[in-house]
Each structure stands twice: as structure tokens, then as C-alpha cells.
Chain A
Amino acid sequence: MRRIEADFVRRRPPGRAWWGATVLLLGAAVALAAWGWTVREDAAGVRAQMQDWNARVDALAHQATRRAELPNEPPPAYAADAQAALKLQRVPVDAALASLESVGTVGVLPVSVDISAADATVRVQVEFSSYEALLKYLEDLNAGEPNERWILATAQGTAQGASGRPTALIVSRWRGRE
């Protein structure tokens, strides 16, 4: 013999309330899953955006750090030449040379022209025969200038140049293109 599990209770089929609750639960589960998926997608987007921002912030911080560290670094080898070239651009060489070329005074002979880009000056060494001729040369150089541009820096009447004449140094200062 063995156990007998006879049972005469009729199992009623699920009623409308049961089906309604089941449908509601299923709908809630689907809605919850969809909401979770949406939140997950949003979170992924926000995370990616935050990573992008972090990368940009890191790049900016790195760039700022490099900028802050730049003064401590030795200047590159070309820096001096580049700066000189840059400053040279600020000196109106053509105008200075045109002034020198447009003036011809008997008894004054320019022997050298030194253009200094560092302090934007043009130094002209001349040999002169007399102070009168030298002053006339200066007057001709500054003719038409609102201010006296060319200045007699030194005049060495006793010192003789290559030709045995006295020499003088005339300096003009240029600030920007004029």
C-alpha cells in the first residue's frame, strides 16, 4: 500500500480580480524595467559627459601647469634671434635709411650705420671735416621732423677715423613705425 492524496476540492480558475492584478503587476514590472533602462541610459550619458568634462578639466589643468612651469624653463636657442627679429620689425629701418640717404652734406661722410633692434635706435658714425658741416648734417637729418630725431651723441674731434678725420656718433631713436 501507499499514501493516498485524494482531494475533492475544486480549484477555482482565477477570477477577474486575479487576472487584473496579474496584468497590473506585469505592467508595473514592464514599466519599472523600461524606467530602469532609461535611467541606465541617462546615467551612462551623464557619466560620459562627466568623463569628457573631467578630461577637459585635466587638459586645462595640465596646460595651466605647463604655463606656470614655462618661466622656469630655459628659453630656447632661437628665442633671442626671434625677439630681435620681432623688435627689428618695430624699427622703421627703411625710414631711417631713407633719411640718411636723402641727406648729403659736404664734409660729412657716414662710415657706419648700426641699427639696434634691442633699443630701437640707429647709430650712425660719421667722419666730418668741421663741426659746422656736422651740425649742418644734423640739421638736414632733422629737417621736417616734429621733434629732433637725430642727436649728436659723441663728437671726437681729436680722435681720428680711418681717414684721419674726426668722427662723431649720431643717434636716432625710433619707437614703432613712424
Chain B
Amino acid sequence: MSSVRSEGAQAWLGWRGVAWRFGEQPWQWQPADGLEAGVTAVAVALKADAAVRRPQLTLWLAGSVARPFIVQPVPGLQSWTEARRLAEALAPDETGLTGPCEVWLDAAPPGHAVLGVAIETATRETIERVLAAHGVRAVAMRPWWTAALARALDAQPALSRIVVAEPESLVVLAGRDGVFSATATCAPLPSPEHAAAWLQRSVLSLGIADGEGVRVALSAGAGLDDAVMEAWA
């Protein structure tokens, strides 16, 4: 995958599982009872690896942890800080996350909808606390679906919709001409039948049935670079 670092230590973090790879070693998957347990497992494994001199980690967050949503333009906003605070206030209701959230906002022209990415504040703090306790430094903490999107855009620049399937979530993104118009996240992931039904309903409700689409699927046990990308009809 184009934007996924192939060197250094990397880890994928979900609520029910974790995966990591140090250097050029194969990806290792391990079930986890919660995010804190998963981060701990990664940090312990990283510290135990004799080949690792400087414990630094690139974290890829599952779609269930970092969720996209659309922030509609709100008249009267005076600054970027106000827009971000408004997005953080809207994030739990828009994404289904619980508790206070931190939001990363994409850049967009004034008066247009903008893509936001939300993570629970407690989740981010937990990750940082556990890593610090083990002497591990996080050099990046990014949603993995952003890497999948980058890979899909490399293959199809005219992409207008994408669904990213991870072991515990589905993330749908749609938009044209560099502007995101719709997002949806399904987490935790239900049964495959229910997931397919949710995806079909989302396509209809969001009005994204038409356009060039891609489906990227990450399977548990596989490497992040081995995610399957196929056309989404």
C-alpha cells in the first residue's frame, strides 16, 4: 500500500484485536480484550524484540476507533478553533462514539462541508499512557482507512466512493472533486449478512449508488499491505 510505511514498527489497533509488525517481519495478529490490552501487547512485544533499539511505533487505528463524519457548514463561525470545537461537540452524535471526542478537520473552502475524523479523547489518552509506561513513542496515530483511501486514489484518481472493510468495522466514504459529501461507519461489525444489509442501506440513504467505487478489505491474519482492493459495484 502506497502510504503505509514498510519500515519500522507498525501496529493496527482495534477494540477486539491488535496486529503488529517490526521491521520486515510478518504481521502478527492477536485478539485483545479492549484497546488498552491491545496497546499493552504491542508495547511488550516491541520492548521484547532485541532488534529494536529505539522503540518507536506507527499506529494505525481501526475504523471503529477513528471514525469519519461530515461537518456541515455553520454560518457565524469566526475561526478554525470554533469550527473544531463545534465538530467535537457534534462528533459523538455523528459517529456513534461515546464520551468527549477529539476531531481532526480536513481543509475545505468556506461554506462547504468538511470531513472530520473523530476519536474518543479517553481512547487517545489511553494509548499514549500505555505506550509511555512501556517507554514506547508513537510517531503517528492515523486511521487505517486513510491509508486504504490513499491506495485506492493511487489506483483510481477519479474515485467517488469507497468502502473499507476491517475486521471490526466498515467505513464508507463518498465525494467528488476533492470534496467529501457522505460518510458512514458500521462498528462493531455485525454478521456478514447484517453488514451487507447495512452497507446496502447506507448506499441508498446517502445517495452514493452511482460512481466509480472501490472496496478495500483487510482480513484478520493478513498484512496491512495485503489488503484486497476490488471494484465496488
Task: Give the interface of A toward B (CB within 8 A).
Answer: 1-10
Contact = CB atoms under 8 A, between A and B. Distances in A.
Identify the interface centre among A3, A5, A8, A10: most chain B CB within 10 Å of its CB: A8
A7 B142 CA distance: 5
Q: Interface of chain A, helix or strand or loop or mixed?
A: loop
Interface string B137-151: 011111100100110
A7 B105 CA distance: 10
A42 to B, nearest CB: 45
6 shortest interchain CB distances as A-B pairs: A6-B104, A6-B117, A4-B146, A8-B141, A2-B178, A9-B141
A4 B115 contact: yes
B138 A9 contact: yes
Contact of B180 (A1, A6, A7, A9): A1
Contacts of B115: 4
A8 B66 CA distance: 9
B174 A1 contact: yes
B160 A6 contact: no
B88 interface: no
B102 interface: yes
Given A8-B102, A8-B104, A2 B141 contact: no
Contacts of A6: 66, 104, 106, 117, 142-143, 146
Contacts of B176: 1
6 contacts: A1-B162, A1-B180, A3-B153, A4-B117, A6-B104, A6-B106
Given A1-B174, A4-B143, A6-B117, 17 more contacts: A1-B149, A1-B160, A1-B162, A1-B173, A2-B153, A3-B146, A3-B150, A3-B153, A4-B117, A4-B150, A5-B146, A6-B142, A7-B140, A7-B141, A8-B104, A8-B141, A9-B59
Nearest to A7: B142
Identify the interface centre among A4, A9, A10: most chain B CB within 10 Å of its CB: A4
Nearest to B125: A10
A38 B189 CA distance: 72
B175 A1 contact: yes
Interface string B171-185: 001111011100000
Nearest to B150: A3
Nearest to B58: A9
Nearest to B175: A1
B117 A1 contact: no
B124 interface: yes
Nearest to A12: B137
A6 B117 CA distance: 7
A4 to B, nearest CB: 4
B114 to A, nearest CB: 11
A2 B161 CA distance: 11
A2 B3 CA distance: 13
A130 to B, nearest CB: 135
Contacts of B149: 1, 3-4
Contacts of B173: 1
B159 interface: yes
Nearest to B146: A4
Contact of A1 (B138, B141, B178): B178
A4 B178 CA distance: 10
B19 to A, nearest CB: 19
